[in-house]
């Protein structure tokens, strides 16, 4: 039992085939065949911990839907794009994506603890040429070094937290040594998929390089287990502000009640909901996409019922590298030079001077 609490055991014992999966949940032969076919497109790997949250009988279980390949992934949707965020094009150095003058994304590994079916980078994530090479890292750091406008470096992938602590430290220390880099951010789904990885060794290392911020990725209240919440609290206790980025997923969390429970549960454990993302246009995930209008409606419903710090920004990451744009319900009913008419959270109208 104790070994199940070891993150390396969890990684070594991930569920990667339909046969292994069939031992844990009920699968028909047709479902098994479907999984095997879809696996040719994008790999499956589920940590035993996360798999233990799956409902054995319900194919619509939100945990199952995020992890188990579906025949729908083989459909190329009308608007699907191979490189939806233009990350190949906007690549000033190896493994660096820069879309804003003051921020850069540094991709350090293509491996994750578990592979989300809705992955934006499914084009490259999970491939075997995984971790950044020394030469790629040298060139990436050299670019950040000679670009003084960059004051915020986002270390992502893949998932940086599945790297060995000393390998990750080497990267973080090198970024921290660049004088104009103020903030280092790490993007990770490890608290959700592999919470036992957030151990003292990791938090002790991270807190040497403050200011470090972490953004994680919870999508459903079922993921708010004592283990996952403890992992977040360990990061926060190490002085790391933890934010959360949720992806709006059809049939999983496209419902204000579910998201409200999720966001309030996160806030209760000191995690700040940061973004709610419209699902990207990656190939094979169109079945997860929710109408934008529905996202706006959900935001309206959240804004009118819970505190501002429990409500993330609803954002679309624009295709071909346009960056993020935030959307929301329009509370301005009318405006002219003199006056605005504003709608409050109850739908009542108020007049307010324009200047």
Ligand X SMILES: *Cc1c(COP(=O)(O)O)cnc(C)c1O
Residues annotated as part of the active site: 99-100, 103, 112, 116, 119, 121, 280, 317, 324
Nearest distance from C-beta of residue 328 to ligand X, angstroms: 15
Q: Which range binds ligand X by CB under 6 A, 76-84, 92-100, 112-120, 292-300? A: 92-100
Q: Which member of 25, 96, 105, 212 binds ligand X (CB under 6 A)?
A: 105
Q: Which range binds ligand X by CB under 6 A, 52-60, 96-104, 127-135, 256-264? A: 96-104
Q: Does 250 bind ligand X (CB under 6 A)?
A: no
Nearest distance from C-beta of residue 229 to ligand X, angstroms: 23
Q: Which member of 100, 309, 345, 350 binds ligand X (CB under 6 A)?
A: 100
Q: Which of 233, 184, 230 is nearest to 211 (CA)?
A: 184
Q: CA distances (Å), 88 to each of 84, 94, 96, 136, 352, in order?
A: 10, 10, 10, 15, 47
Q: Which member of 99, 151, 207, 294 binds ligand X (CB under 6 A)?
A: 99
Residues that contact ligand X, how many (by CB under 6 A) = 7
DSSP, res 131: B
Contact 314, 276 (CB under 8 A): yes
Tokens of 300: 């309206």
Q: Does 97 bind ligand X (CB under 6 A)?
A: yes
> Angle formed by the axes of helices 134-145 and 165-176, to 10°?
20
Q: Does 211 bind ligand X (CB under 6 A)?
A: no
Find all residues with CB under 8 Å of 343, minimum gap 6, and list them: 331, 332, 333, 349, 350
DSSP, res 256: H
Q: Which of 23, 20, 28 is nearest to 45 (CA)?
A: 20
> What are the φ and ψ backbone dihedral angles of 142, each rounded to 5 degrees?
-60, -40
Q: CA distances (Å), 333 to each of 25, 124, 353, in order?
A: 51, 44, 14
Cβ-based nearer residue to ligand X, 112 or 154: 154
Cβ-based nearer residue to ligand X, 97 or 192: 97
Q: Does 150 bind ligand X (CB under 6 A)?
A: no
Nearest distance from C-beta of residue 244 to ligand X, angstroms: 12
Identify each DSSP E strand in the chain by its residue range.
96-100, 103-107, 152-156, 183-187, 212-216, 242-248, 271-278, 313-318, 323-327, 332-335, 339-343, 349-353
Nearest distance from C-beta of residue 280 to ligand X, angstroms: 10
Nearest distance from C-beta of residue 154 to ligand X, angstroms: 5
Q: Does 103 bind ligand X (CB under 6 A)?
A: yes
Tokens of 222: 């079922």
Q: Binding marks (x or -) toward ligand X, 152..181, rule CB under 6 A?
A: --x---------------------------
Q: Which range binds ligand X by CB under 6 A, 20-28, 97-105, 231-239, 338-346? A: 97-105
> What's the CA gap between 311 and 299, in Å, rounded?
8
Cβ-based nearer residue to ligand X, 296 or 318: 318
Q: Binding marks (x or -) toward ligand X, 319..338, rule CB under 6 A?
A: -----x--------------
Q: Which range binds ligand X by CB under 6 A, 54-62, 63-71, 100-108, 296-304? A: 100-108
Q: Does 151 bind ligand X (CB under 6 A)?
A: no
Cβ-based nearer residue to ligand X, 138 or 324: 324
> What's the CA gap between 192 and 272, in Å, rounded?
15
- Determine the length of the chain: 355
Which residues of this chain interact with ligand X, rule CB under 6 A?
Answer: 97, 99-100, 103, 105, 154, 324
């Amino acid at each position: 039992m104790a070994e199940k609490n070891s993150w390396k055991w969890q990684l070594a014992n991930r569920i990667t085939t339909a046969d292994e999966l069939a031992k844990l949940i009920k699968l028909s032969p047709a479902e098994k065949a479907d999984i095997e076919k879809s696996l040719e497109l994008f790999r499956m790997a589920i940590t035993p911990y996360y798999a233990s949250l799956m409902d054995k009988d319900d194919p619509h279980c939100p945990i199952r839907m995020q992890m188990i390949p579906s025949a729908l992934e083989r459909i190329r949707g009308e608007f699907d794009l191979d490189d939806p965020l233009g990350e190949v094009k906007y690549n000033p150095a190896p493994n660096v994506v820069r879309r804003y003058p003051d921020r850069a994304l540094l991709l350090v590994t293509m491996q994750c603890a578990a592979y989300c079916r809705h992955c934006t980078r499914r084009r490259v994530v999970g491939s075997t040429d995984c971790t950044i090479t020394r030469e790629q890292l040298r060139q990436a750091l050299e670019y950040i070094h000679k670009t003084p406008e960059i004051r915020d470096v986002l270390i992502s992938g893949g998932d940086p937290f599945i790297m060995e602590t000393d390998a990750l430290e080497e990267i973080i220390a090198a970024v921290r040594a660049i004088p104009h880099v103020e903030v280092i951010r790490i993007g990770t789904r490890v608290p959700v998929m592999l919470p036992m990885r957030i151990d003292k060794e990791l938090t002790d290392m991270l807190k040497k390089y403050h200011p470090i911020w972490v953004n994680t990725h919870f999508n459903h209240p079922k993921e708010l287990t004592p283990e996952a919440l403890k992992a977040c609290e360990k990061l926060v206790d190490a002085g790391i502000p933890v934010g959360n980025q949720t992806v709006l997923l059809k049939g999983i969390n496209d419902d204000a009640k579910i998201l409200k429970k999720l966001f309030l549960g996160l806030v209760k454990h000191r995690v700040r909901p940061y973004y709610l993302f419209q699902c990207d246009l990656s190939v094979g995930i169109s079945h997860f996409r929710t109408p934008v209008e529905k996202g706006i409606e959900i935001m309206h419903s959240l804004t009118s019922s819970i505190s501002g710090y429990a409500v993330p920004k609803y954002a679309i990451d624009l295709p071909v590298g346009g960056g993020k744009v935030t959307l929301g319900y329009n509370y301005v009913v009318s405006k002219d030079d003199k006056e605005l008419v504003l709608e409050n959270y109850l739908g009542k109208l108020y007049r307010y001077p324009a200047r």
